[in-house]
Amino acid sequence: MSQQNSTKWTAEVISIGDEMTSGARLDTNAQWLSQRLAELGIEVLFHTTVCDTLAHNVNVFQTAARRVDFVVCTGGLGPTRDDLTREALSEVASDPLELRKQALDHIETLFSSRGRPMSERNRLQAMFPSTSTIIPNPLGTAPGIDLRLREDASDHVCRVFALPGVPAEMMPMFDQYVAPSLVSNNGDQHVIRSLVMKFFGTGESAMEERLGDTIARDRQPRVGITVSAATISLRITAHAETAQECEAMIADTKTEILGRVPEYYFGDGENYEQYHAIDSSLRSRGESLMVVELGYAAPLNDWFASLGDTPSYRGGLSLANERELRRHTSASALAEAITQLKSQFDVDWLLLVDGYPSLNSPLVREPSETMPNASVKMLVSSPDGVLHERKSTIAGHPDILQPRIGKTAMEHLRAVMAATDLA
């Protein structure tokens, strides 16, 4: 019942402007609005971006009015000839535009307060469909429009909130006017919470098979799977009447997931990575680490540096190859070089990657049927000075091959640390 309720309302986000359909600008409003709407328990089914042409704007609003309960659109409310949102809405609603004194006063006040003359065209910004409500815009000259579109055929009503495209004006207008209007529509399930679980070491489809119906689309709470550079994120999203109910549902689902796929899990949080997990176990053991990266990349140097002023990470070194490393430490053997570096950096642990391959091979420049492969040696030196070696053949697209190698090395380090933990 409340489940139904949580998927009862649907929305479409519409962004208006040639600058986006031409690719000159990246639309970030749609993402921001989608996150806010999801938090309000409203499911966003579509984003639409449309150029500054009246007929196409009308087409887009008509299409949206048929398929969702709410539309939040941004852009096209300015004073220029390109700004067609109020005309388009007037046409779709067959509702003539009328001048609203309240809006005109606001615009005139704003101009005089800025000591600027008000152009005739700005009067257009005070024109509204007769059945619409003004959405106040404290920060700009373009008030928003709150209008209900009725379909003659059905009883379906689609409520449109038209906001300016400028994020600094759009965001407060959404928070102060649109969000409260939506919540009052949304029955009892107005609370939404989510948790992101992170995994590394397997592929997306293998992961999905292991998870089975845990990721069924109609399941509550819903579990969504996404992959970024070989790291898998599971997002658990719960709707309920209280935050407490949400947290309980999320906890149960997390337990079920860990029961199915325990071995690749390393932590929770959208931005939580393996180096955070390594940092926290090093801290709890009071131990420290340095990384040495050989070859054509050094992602671990960058990632571990982001930990900043932690006692657990002491720094990193990046060199071309093992010969360079031996020359650098004037050591005759790799083991000797590692011992010297550990004392120079004053660390308990050392992680060495030998090495990141060149991405400039013909294979990578002219991709063939198979992905580039790299046979990589990963060496971990534990506090007792023992060397734990792992050789992996790692494949991946050029854009993610080096990060995947770095992440595989961290997986090796975590495994060695876990083993010495048990010992």
Please, which of residues 45-64 interact with a second copy by CB under 8 A?
A: 45-53, 56, 59-60, 63
User: Based on CB atoms, which residue is closest to a second copy, 19 or 95?
Assistant: 19
Quick check: 416 and 394 in contact, CB under 8 A?
A: no
d(CA 75, CA 86): 10
Contact between 8 and a second copy per CB under 8 A: no
Sign of CA dihedral 354, 298, 346, 390: negative
Contact between 398 and a second copy per CB under 8 A: yes
Give the x/- contact pattern for a second copy in 295-334, rule: CB under 8 A.
xxxxx-xx-xxxxxx---xxxxxxxx---x---x------
Those residues with Cβ within 8 angstroms of residue 213's Cβ, 6 or more apart along the chain or in another chain? 219
Please, which of residues 133-162 interact with a second copy by CB under 8 A?
A: 138-140
User: Based on CB atoms, which residue is closest to a second copy, 96 or 180?
Assistant: 180
The region of 15-23, 151-159, 251-259, 274-282 touching a second copy under the rule CB under 8 A is: 15-23
Contact between 272 and a second copy per CB under 8 A: no
Contact between 339 and a second copy per CB under 8 A: no
Contact between 209 and a second copy per CB under 8 A: yes
Tell which one of 96, 219, 373, 385 touches a second copy (CB under 8 A): 373
Residue 420: CB minimum distance to a second copy, A: 25
Contact between 31 and a second copy per CB under 8 A: yes
Total count of residues recorded for the chain: 423
The region of 163-171, 259-267, 274-282, 415-423 touching a second copy under the rule CB under 8 A is: 163-171
The region of 87-95, 246-254, 279-287, 370-378 touching a second copy under the rule CB under 8 A is: 370-378
Beta bridge partners of 71: 12, 160
Those residues with Cβ within 8 angstroms of residue 342's Cβ, 6 or more apart along the chain or in another chain? 290, 348, 350, 381
Contact between 181 and a second copy per CB under 8 A: no
Those residues with Cβ within 8 angstroms of residue 141's Cβ, 6 or more apart along the chain or in another chain? 79, 107, 110, 111, 122, 125
For residue 246, what are its two tokens? 């949400």
φ/ψ of 351, rounded to 5, equals: -115, 120
φ/ψ of 227, rounded to 5, equals: -125, 135
Contact between 107 and a second copy per CB under 8 A: no
Quick check: 239 and 220 in contact, CB under 8 A?
A: yes
User: Based on CB atoms, which residue is closest to a second copy, 84 or 416?
Assistant: 84
Contact between 286 and a second copy per CB under 8 A: no
Beta bridge partners of 129: 97
The region of 73-81, 85-93, 332-340, 379-387 touching a second copy under the rule CB under 8 A is: 73-81
User: Based on CB atoms, which residue is closest to a second copy, 136 or 383?
Assistant: 136
For residue 98, what are its two tokens? 């009328």
Residue 155: CB minimum distance to a second copy, A: 20
Those residues with Cβ within 8 angstroms of residue 182's Cβ, 6 or more apart along the chain or in another chain? 9, 37, 40, 42, 70
The region of 95-103, 107-115, 278-286, 374-382 touching a second copy under the rule CB under 8 A is: 107-115
Beta strand pairing call for 387-395 and 373-381:
antiparallel
Of 135, 207, 232, 121, the closest CA to residue 177 belongs to 135
Tell which one of 2, 5, 34, 281 touches a second copy (CB under 8 A): 34
